[in-house]
Amino acid sequence: MRFVLQLAIFISCGGLLLPSLHAAPWNDLTTDELEATLTQKFAAGEYSPKGADSCLMCHRRSEKVMAIFDGVHGQGNSNQSPMAGLQCEACHGPQGNHNKGGKEPMISFGPDSKLSASAQNSVCQGCHNDAQQMSWHSSTHNLEEVACSDCHQVHSAKDPVMDKLTVNDTCSSCHSKEKADMNKRSSHPLKWDQMTCVDCHAPHGSMSESALTKPTVNDTCYSCHAEKRGPFLWEHAPVTEDCVTCHNPHGSVNNDLLKHRAPQLCQQCHANDGHASRVVPEPGSDAFGGGKSCLNCHSQIHGSNHPSGSLLQR
Amino acid sequence: MKLFKMNVITLSIMAVSGSAMGADFGVGNANLSSVNQSKYECKRCGDSNGYQGSISVSVGYNDISDIHAGNALGTAEDGAIGAVSGDVRYQGESGYRGQLQAHQLGMDNGFLSLSAGKADLYELTFDYSNLKTYQAGNVQSQLWHNNGMLTPSVSVNQFDLALEREKIGLGFDYGRDFYRASVRFSQVGKTGHQSSSIVTPSPVNFGLPVDATTRQWDAGLALKGDNWITELSYMGSFYENNINHLSLPHLNDVFTASPDNQAHQVSLAGQYQLNRTVMSGRLVTGRMIQDDDLIQMSGNPLQSWDGQVDTLDGRLAFTSMLTNRLRLGGSVDYSKRDNKSSVAEFAQYNFNSVTGAFRQNTPRDYEGNTYKVNASYRIASGYRIQAGYDRKEVERSFSEREQTNDDSLWMKFNVRAFDNFNINLKAEHANRGGSEYEANALTSSEQNALMRKYYLADRKRNAVELSVNHSPVHWMSLDINTCYAKDDYDKTQIGLTESEDYGYEVSVSLQLNKHVNAYGFAGQQRINSTQAGSQSFSKADWYGDIEDDFTNIGAGLNYGGLMQNKLMLGLDYLFSSSVSDTYVTTGVTRPYGDYYSYSHSASVYADYAVNALMALKLSYRYERYYDTDAAVTDINSIPGLVTLGDINHDYNAHQVMLSFSYKLR
């Protein structure tokens, strides 16, 4: 009898051991059908009698599954961790009859899940509903239906997106233009992971432009470049308004992240008689084009505190 | 249980007639009526209490002829190098956790992060990082700096243009279910030299010494209920410059130091959720203060100037899933910069002598409102359309154009209906207008009346983006992104008149078998801009065409599972090329001169597991970097200008590293 039981468990688990090679039995359901089934199942609340052990009877041979115990979500001794509560079913929903052949759907995550991003995310948000997530609902990532599991991995000792050395890889796997920008002639040191995307941007959204971590673009820049904050006695109008008027923070083919080089950039705003309006036909022939160009004299371009510095020269 | 024996037709009917409520599988909504946790068992669960992770020690050799290579190789040291890294986690039986991450400690660029605490109760953090960026080595100047005096000398002062940021940070978080409080402090010391220039009266480029400290204090208190969250926070930043104003022996205070300053912000933010409608808002009030002593000179009526800018930033946003197909959203943003600095008249220089011309400082105010509405509609399963309208209204003081309005209409189309294809299309039409442009409002007759500054000028923008993700087979993923944008400054005769930006990125990732994966990507971007100027101070008589071209190619391979799963080999390669060609036309068109850079970065590595706990990694990195700029000349080759000499780069650099790592579990 015991042998028959073991054989039955072995056969019923067979389909679950190779999830990547065999599509889930509920793959034929559409997203709506799957969601409707899981909603019913969730409401019925038929949780397994023994918790995690009921699941691990079949799933313990998967390294990916067992890796949950290396991270915080598998920590049974923290009362905030799912493993201290409903265990596996806290996230994957009530087992119901799933253990009888594995044909009944469970809540699943990741690129192979047919469940909508909002349904997947509702699981995570059931616990992760704090101030950091306050702007999630209006964020571009939410509106673009990005799932938490598109960036985060909980079945691992360390979530790569929480690691300073790997977070940029996660962001740039979708943001390919910004990934390319990191390699331009001038850029912030993102490609060597000395800076990270999340130093400036809040991936869960923020109440600032472009999901910046600080209230404004300039506040974001000043957090590292405080010497440009002033306020200065003599201000340069576009500097006080928006650093991005002249700089592209993601990278540029010009030096200093500038959208264009001097003198051309300066001449796109300044055409004073006989000075800024003069043509500079080549860079290396006079002080208008050579060296630092306009900044040879107007070196205090971000603002000057010299009483006689109205031309940003001192 | 018959519940799950519903047929597909029943499910489809349910899905189509689904209520506005989407699925919410949050654990707080779980039906626990049949749960008896006392019978729960976790005999098969893994045990990760104790230490896990690894620590590693690396020794190696750098062959570097130009310190610029230090940016890529982590240190500009030429010769033997060494570093310690590690990633260790500790988990105690009673719920305590600790984490240590160290990266390249001992090199110019590295960090250490420590955290300890009890999950979701409290956490203490400590961070240390060193970030050094290299612009050029062995730069030459005949000015020697000592305590604010720049002394000219026949002997050459040789130094590096490099900046080092050393940061330490401390943080403490404490919280329970409904509240969380945090305090953080960080201090960044920035030292080194950066390129700058003084007017003596002829311009002389020099290495500006940098020695400054920025301290940052952040504190916050967050509270939450079932359907609301609120957070009150404070952010304070204090900048202190340890370098004084700079003087020449014959010219006092010829270059002002960046003044000490501080900024404070208090923010109150909140979110409220009502079924499937979520509202969020924030109000941030801030003050920036700078009251350093002004340089005392004739024509300066003030001892110290009271620089003060008050800011107010607000936002109110909502998003609502009206049905399972339709989402509506909107937001209003407000931003105000109220410059309350004192105003006085100051004598101005005209080249090298005081002309007696006085000028009043112009404390600039700024006020902006941004309105956004958007809608997202799922046409059918896997097909979604989004559209939105954004409007930004800005008012400025002391500006040629006091008001500008930016209107933008955009649309996105997302297709997820196919198993192997994801398609996203985005199109945007935007238009900027505003109040009358008064070219000479501030500068009387100095500015050409036809000039329209590009950030204020009328502009039409049309942009389109297309991205396709395709997985033809389960082991291959292909991504293609393309974009095109055109800005037309149609009312501008002098200034930037047109800009066009287009490009593509293609990437492929392959899981060739259980042990081998590979990737490749390529991308190009082109930005063409045209601008016009006038030497005759009337209509355009010269034109500039700027053609920026960027190319980026990369590929890599990872081959594991060799020698009974003990050896892994890897290879990465990256090429990038940045070119900016300018053509100036004054009757005839002439190229402006070389301005480009390219780099080849390659690395190969072998990772060998000596046993279950110990591993060796041998890596080799190669950097080839070249850049040129025709504006960079020898020190005295341009009459009336002294430069820092040839600071272009042309080098090959190599790094060999051997790392030994030990796994803690």
pLDDT in tens, B311-367: 999 999 999 999 989 999 999 999 999 999 999 999 887 644 445 588 899 999 999
Reply yes or no on whether the pLDDT at A216 is more than 90.
yes
CA-based nearest residue to A261, from B210, B585, B578: B578
Shortest Cα–Cα distance, B608 to chain A (Å): 21
How many whole angstroms separate alpha carbon A183 and alpha carbon B16?
A: 48
Over 90: is that where the pLDDT of A152 sits?
A: yes
- Cross-chain CB nearest to A260 (options B53, B348, B529): B529
Tell me the per-residue pLDDT of A222-261, one tens digit each, with 9 for 90 and over: 999 999 998 999 999 999 999 999 999 999 999 999 999 9
Q: Provide the shortest C-alpha distance from residue B455 to chain A (in Å).
A: 7
pLDDT tens digit string along B550-577? 999 999 999 999 999 999 999 999 999 9
Least confident of A129-133, A250-254, B67-71, B647-651: A129-133
Which of these ranges, A8-12, A169-173, B356-360, B482-486, has the smallest mean pLDDT?
A8-12
Under an 8 A CB cutoff, do A185 and B505 touch? no
Q: Which of A254-263, B29-38, B62-71, B635-644 has the lowest mean pLDDT?
A: B29-38
- N-terminal to C-terminal alpha carbon distance within chain A: 93
**CA pair distance B251, B206, nearest whole angstrom:** 16
Residue B422's SS3 state is: strand
**pLDDT surpasses 60 at B443:** no
- Nearest C-alpha neighbor of A237 from the set A208, A207, A191, A270: A270
Q: Which helix (H) or strand (E) holds B52?
A: strand B50-63
Q: Concatenated DSSP letters for chain A?
A: -HHHHHHHHHHHHHTTS-TTTS--GGGGS-HHHHHHHHHHHHHHT---SSTHHHHHHHHTT-HHHHGGGGSGGG-TTSTTSGGGTTTHHHHH---TTTTTTS-S-----STT--S-HHHHHHHHHTT--SGGGTTTTTSHHHHTT--HHHH---SSSS-GGGSTTTHHHHHHTT-HHHHHHTTSSB--TTTTTSS-GGGTB-TT--SSGGGBSSSSHHHHHHTT-GGGT---SB--HHHHH-GGGTB-TT-BSSGGGBSS-TTHHHHTT--BTTTTTS----TTSSTTTSTTGGGGT---TT-B-STT-TTS--
**From its phi and psi, is residue A256 left (phi > 0), alpha (psi between -120 and 50) or beta?**
left
Per the CB < 8 Å rule, is A66 touching B483? no
**pLDDT exceeds cutoff 50 at A16:** no
- Interface test with chain B among A194, A195, A257, by most B beta carbons within 10 Å: A194
Is the minimum CB–CB distance between A94 and chain B shorter than 8 Å? yes
Q: B interface mutation test: which of A59, A268, A301, A302 has the most B CBs within 10 A? A: A268
Backbone torsions φ then ψ of B313, nearest 5 degrees: -125, 130
- On the 0-12 / 13-18 / 19+ scale of CB atoms within 10 A, B75 is buried
**pLDDT tens per residue, range B602-622:** 999 999 999 999 999 999 999
* Whether A83 contacts chain B with CB within 8 A: yes
Q: How confident is the model at residue B440 (pLDDT cuts 50, 70, 90)?
A: low
> How many Å lie between the alpha carbon of B80 and the closest alpha carbon of chain A?
21
Q: Does A185 touch chain B (CB under 8 A)?
A: yes
Q: Is the pLDDT of residue A21 over 60?
A: no
How far are the Cα atoms of A197, B108, B159, B187, B189 from residue B165, in angstroms, in the given order?
Answer: 18, 10, 18, 10, 6
Cis peptide upstream of residue B249 (ω within 30 degrees of 0)? no
Distance between CA atoms of residues B544 and A281, nearest Å: 9
User: Counting runs of H as helices and runs of E as strands, what totals does chain B give?
Assistant: 3, 31
- Kindly report the length of chain B: 665
**CB contact, 8 Å: A27 with chain B?**
no
For the cut 90, the answer to whether the pLDDT of residue B11 exceeds it is: no
B45 to chain A, closest Cα gap in Å? 7
What is residue B472's predicted lDDT score, i.e. its pLDDT? 92
As a dihedral over the C-alpha atoms of residue A236, residue A241, residue A246, residue A250, rounded to 10 degrees, the angle is 140
Tens of pLDDT along B401-431? Answer: 999 999 999 999 999 888 888 999 999 999 9
Q: Which of A121, A275, A277 should we substitute to test contact with B (largest number of B Cβ atoms within 10 Å)?
A: A277
A75 touches chain B (CB under 8 A): yes
Q: How far is A101 from chain B (nearest CA, A)?
A: 14
Min Cα separation A1/chain B (Å): 23
Average pLDDT score over residue span B28-47 = 85
CB contact under 8 A, B15 and A118: no
Q: Is A273–B265 a contact, with Cβ atoms under 8 angstroms apart?
A: no
Write down the pLDDT at residue B321: 93
pLDDT at A285: 85
Q: Which residue has the higher pLDDT, B22 or B283?
A: B283
A198–chain B Cβ distance below 8 A for any pair = no
More confident residue, A50 or A77: A50
Which residues of B107-255 form beta strands (DSSP E)? Answer: 110-118, 122-146, 149-175, 179-199, 203-224, 228-241, 246-248, 251-255
pLDDT tops 60 at residue A19: no
d(Cα B424, Cα B369) in Å, to the nearest integer? 30
Mutate to test the interface with A, among B19, B45, B94, B279 (most CBs of A within 10 A): B45
CA pseudo-torsion sign A167, A173, A174, A179:
positive
> Degrees (nearest 5) of the Cα angle A206, A208, A212?
70
Nearest chain A residue to B645, by CA: A291
In chain A, whose CA is at the least distance from the CA of B366? A241
The predicted pLDDT at position B442 comes to 60
Q: Comparing A64-78, B131-145, B327-341, B546-560, which segment has the lowest mean pLDDT?
A: A64-78
pLDDT for the residue numbered B357: 82
Of B12, B297, B337, the CB nearest to A240: B337
CB atoms A53 and B41 under 8 Å: yes
Query: How many A-B residue pairs are in contact by the CB < 8 A criterion?
Result: 533
Lowest mean pLDDT among A214-218, A225-229, A252-256, B93-97: B93-97
Predicted confidence (pLDDT) at residue A12 exceeds the cutoff of 70: no
Residue A196 forms contact with B (CB below 8 Å): no
Amino acid at B149: M
* A256 close contact with B: CB closer than 8 A: no
Q: Taking the domains of chain A in order of start, what are their residue ranges?
A: 2-151, 160-211, 217-296
Q: B638: which residues sit within 8 A by CB, 6+ positions away?
A: A284, A285, A286, A287, A290, A291
Chain B nearest-CA distance from A207, in A, is 7
Q: How far is A82 from chain B (nearest CA, A)?
A: 9
Quote the pLDDT of residue B441.
61
Q: How far is A212 from chain B (nearest CA, A)?
A: 13
pLDDT score for B470? 95
* Average pLDDT of span A217-224: 96
Chain A residue at shortest CA distance from B318: A138
Token couple for B658: 């051997």
Q: Are B533 and A271 a contacting pair at CB < 8 A?
A: yes
Confidence of residue B489 (pLDDT cuts 50, 70, 90): very high
- Chain B CA closest to residue A46: B34
- The pLDDT of residue A23: 64
Confidence of residue B650 (pLDDT cuts 50, 70, 90): very high
Chain B interface includes A172 (CB < 8 A): no
Q: Out of A43, A279, A311, name the one closest to residue B586 (CB).
A: A279
B389-398 per-residue burial string, b: 16 or more CB within 10 A, e: under 16: ebebebbbee
Structure tokens at B565: 């799963």
Question: Which has more confidence, A271 or B167?
Answer: B167
